[in-house]
Chain A
């Protein structure tokens, strides 16, 4: 599907995550390992509460594992503090979320411009306009999230995620909040953009059909991960 190369984009070695809530420590991830090559699309599937979102947070450097080692875009995250991990994210990590995370006070255009502006891009406005046109929202630039449908909001979120050409995109149930037809449209768009920009895609979902469109599939069961064919 995608133009695979041998270069490793993301690797995780024996990840353990234990949280202390209540009296008993709770181990959510029990020794998870995986390797994802540049340009690959990978789906992590599993039931609610199986630990897939926790894994996504750790893989993306938003959280640290209790044990094990994560390497993202060539940087070992365990040795970095939060700000240094943020710097790694700034180099080319993007996200798409189940509930879109668009800022309600900003228009569609401004939402897409935000990461570009943060990176100090002078042509933020032009680039964001182009991106929104490419997801079919060229005529909705000045609309606020509340004026857009769920599908449209997720398309804005996709445009934002692909702004600045990320090396790796993490998606957390990207179609989870959408009806089937809209979800399929957004999916297609996601894979299309992914193909065009040769981005590594890591997506977490419980939707088997969506997972089937990825190069590789992993199943999360009770804190352990297994690749399924």
Chain B
């Protein structure tokens, strides 16, 4: 009986708008938490998949020597798919032309992951390939064709063997980042190079074993395989950190926005539920006079809430699917097709979000309905005893923490957020109370204008209600402030890491005699070049006088190969000294600055003396500084930088990077023609990909902001509605006492403005505290404070509250007071 009755009553109430706000807030909570949970999970999968693309595998082993064949057999036994590749630089010849190319040989298993898009000779467009080139054939990047001045179909010579070019590579997602390998690609079949003299001692060949399969099988492989010092395992996150970091930040941001939207909808639920309960004291009392027991009355309201929760959950989940679909669409390019679906935990969250927020924030306000005295039908002043304050807050905090734990899958973070939030709130309450008491004391016995006195009396008479309203408004504004500030800074941070004028072309192998001409040519094309850095291939032969061959580090990949070193008087851009003194390095004599991660790996510290060999000459250099490099900045980066005196007598070429504006395409062609010896590396495709990714992340962030905004509006609306009846009554009474409309209107404006200014000030204070914590603790972005917002926000909030507030109360002004009193 109760369920049907509850349903019928609820439908009637829905029609009258009583439950609309609670319903909307519930739907918002479910939509945002489920949508973001689904999206985050799938984004995680996507990030993993895209990182896998860059790796070309789920895991790979890299080695400077050929790997044992049984590794592949082991992998197969574990159920892993595998493929072998090897890469090395070599010269490719076509007739009279020759150029340095990045050779890659692939076996029949390649590619495993990622995208290999190649255009065949007679094909109109490139298509995705599932196998590499056949023996005797070669696929090359278009750049190689132009460097060799040949067309597809031509034959090239590599290591004494002839290959016919049968395809042009347009995308090779596991191409790898380091730009020294970015000479044009030539891809051939693995079998062509087995036993080739090209792979002899001294060649800079890199072998890779690519593996894909289940996580457990990969773990097993990693555990069972003993690697030599010259071999290493590469897993996710090793490659393309910038993209991963941006996506990760975006995900955190979306998660945070979702949390805040959920918090806001919970506040809206609490405020509306309280108002709902208050407006149902009469019907509860009436139902008791009809003979319903306390439990039966409570059951009707709980069933109503439950039904509402279920309906909101269904609506919310549907909307959440739409939301995550929207987000996935926005980020479509970044996310491979055919993602596995989200795990049950995301759905669990969706199904429980509505009920949890309802339980924590709605039910506590409804419970007193059962204890209402039926005598209320005769004595309107009888109101039920509300639950104890601490119980209400404990229930709310508890359920919110649970909800956040489901959302973030991190109980510690959730408890921390909740604890921090509760403390901030507590601090605000204390400040608020103190402020109200102080203001009351200051204003006592002051002759204030009438409207100001009305407004102030109304605010100060009921501390608890005023504090509640102020807190709700302040919390809402605070959330908007934080989320808005984060958005701006996040975007600015992304933009900073990828400025519009970032260098997009690298020029290598600039000879000493042509560096002045080259610089002039760039200037003629109005291109601003970075510094020209010398490039000196050097080999590290001794550390503190001991031969590297006798040291543990002898098999490290930076030993037994040429390192490109450089020298400069000024510290290159995007380099930071983390130890020692650059001035000492630059002044010389005989000094070197080492990249700090390399130094750590090789166990070098300040004061160590390194011996380098270049062109048959050995030079000693003492480490006088360690540098941190920004590998994401598109500027030349060097592991070793020697003091200029050491490099002065060595043969060297130069390199630089510059920004080529889109409309200057012709300049590049002209430069390539004028300087055939200079290698140009074009990174524009990569850059535009990163930029479009950032653009899409920005859109995703803005979309989620809309939801936070809806949450904020719901809170504002429910708080304003809560006090409307009382304000209408008061206004009507004042009018019967002869207050002029203008006076009333003024009083309303003053009161709402006061509320606005006070809540804005509280919100600003809270936002400063919380954001400083978030920026430094969670997002690793420097915090700069709110600054000018302190000036414009309080008046703006005053207006933002006064306009809708006075609009809601315009009945007092328009309608005869008797009508208002009768309705109330």
Contact = CB atoms under 8 A, between A and B. Distances in A.
Interface of A: 53, 56-57, 60, 62-63, 82-83, 86-91, 93, 95, 97, 101, 103-106, 110, 114-115, 117-120, 146, 172
Contacts of B375: 57, 62-63
A101 B290 CA distance: 12
B12 A53 contact: no
A104 B15 CA distance: 12
Given A90-B291, A97-B377, A97-B378, A120 B282 contact: no
A86 B377 CA distance: 14
Given A57-B378, A62-B374, A86-B374, A103 B295 contact: no
B293 A86 contact: yes
Given A62-B377, A82-B294, A103-B282, A89 B18 contact: no
Contacts of A63: 373, 375
A110 B16 contact: no
A146 B373 CA distance: 26
B287 interface: yes
Nearest to A173: B378
Nearest to A98: B378
A96 to B, nearest CB: 10
Nearest to B822: A150
A53 B823 contact: no
Contacts of B292: 86, 90, 118
B467 to A, nearest CB: 27
Interface string B352-388: 0000000000000000000001110111000000000
Given A62-B378, A89-B289, A118-B290, A83 B295 contact: yes
Contacts of B16: 104-106
A101 B282 contact: yes
Given A62-B373, A118-B290, 16 more contacts: A60-B289, A62-B375, A62-B378, A82-B288, A82-B294, A83-B293, A83-B295, A86-B374, A89-B291, A90-B290, A93-B291, A95-B289, A97-B378, A103-B286, A117-B5, A118-B5
B600 interface: no
B63 to A, nearest CB: 76
A53 B289 contact: no
Contacts of A56: 378
B18 A114 contact: no
User: Considering the complex of A and B, which 8 residue pairs feature the smallest CB-CB distances, nearest first?
Assistant: A90-B291, A105-B16, A83-B293, A89-B291, A115-B290, A62-B375, A62-B374, A63-B375
B278 to A, nearest CB: 14
A46 to B, nearest CB: 15
Contacts of B379: 53, 57
15 contacts: A53-B378, A53-B379, A57-B378, A62-B375, A62-B378, A83-B293, A83-B294, A86-B288, A86-B293, A93-B291, A104-B16, A105-B13, A105-B18, A114-B287, A114-B290
A120 B373 CA distance: 23
A101 B281 CA distance: 11
B129 interface: no
Nearest to A85: B374
B12 A110 contact: yes
A118 B289 CA distance: 11
B1 interface: yes
B733 interface: no
B291 A86 contact: yes
Contacts of B289: 60, 62, 89, 93, 95
A63 B375 CA distance: 6
Contact of A118 (B13, B15, B287, B294): B287
B300 to A, nearest CB: 9
Interface string B6-20: 001000110110100
A75 to B, nearest CB: 12
Nearest to A103: B283
A91 B290 CA distance: 9
A146 to B, nearest CB: 7
A101 B377 contact: yes
Nearest to B16: A105
Interface footprint category on B: 20 to 34
B293 A87 contact: yes
Nearest to B291: A90
A87 B291 contact: yes
B589 to A, nearest CB: 91
A213 to B, nearest CB: 22
A115 B287 CA distance: 8
Contacts of B293: 83, 86-87
Contacts of B283: 103
A105 B375 CA distance: 22
Contacts of B823: 146
A151 to B, nearest CB: 14
Contacts of A120: 1
Among A62, A88, A110, A119, max chain B CB count under 10 A is at: A62
A62 B379 CA distance: 11
A53 B377 CA distance: 11
A49 to B, nearest CB: 13
A17 B162 CA distance: 115
Nearest to A172: B378
Contacts of B294: 82-83, 86
A97 B374 CA distance: 13
Contacts of A82: 288, 294, 374
Contacts of B8: 117
B215 to A, nearest CB: 56
B377 A95 contact: yes
Interface in B257-285: 282-283
Nearest to A146: B823
A226 B604 CA distance: 109
A109 B138 CA distance: 86
Interface string B807-824: 000000000000000010
B258 to A, nearest CB: 34
Contacts of B13: 105
Contacts of A103: 282-283, 286
A83 B16 CA distance: 30
A83 B371 CA distance: 11
Contacts of B373: 62-63
Contacts of A110: 12
Nearest to B14: A105
A87 B290 CA distance: 9
A82 B131 CA distance: 82
A104 B377 CA distance: 15
Contacts of A146: 823
Nearest to B288: A86
Interface in B286-326: 286-295
A119 B290 CA distance: 9
A110 B8 CA distance: 10
Contacts of A93: 289, 291
A117 B2 CA distance: 10
A159 to B, nearest CB: 14
Nearest to A104: B16
Given A83-B293, A89-B290, A120-B1, A106 B377 contact: no
B7 to A, nearest CB: 11
Contacts of A115: 290
B288 A106 contact: no
Nearest to B4: A117
Contacts of B290: 89-90, 114-115, 118-119
Contacts of B288: 82, 86, 89
Contacts of B287: 114, 118
A172 B376 CA distance: 13
Nearest to A114: B290
B632 to A, nearest CB: 61
Nearest to B295: A83
Nearest to A177: B822
Among B1, B282, B378, max chain A CB count under 10 A is at: B378
Interface in B1-39: 1, 5, 8, 12-13, 15-16, 18
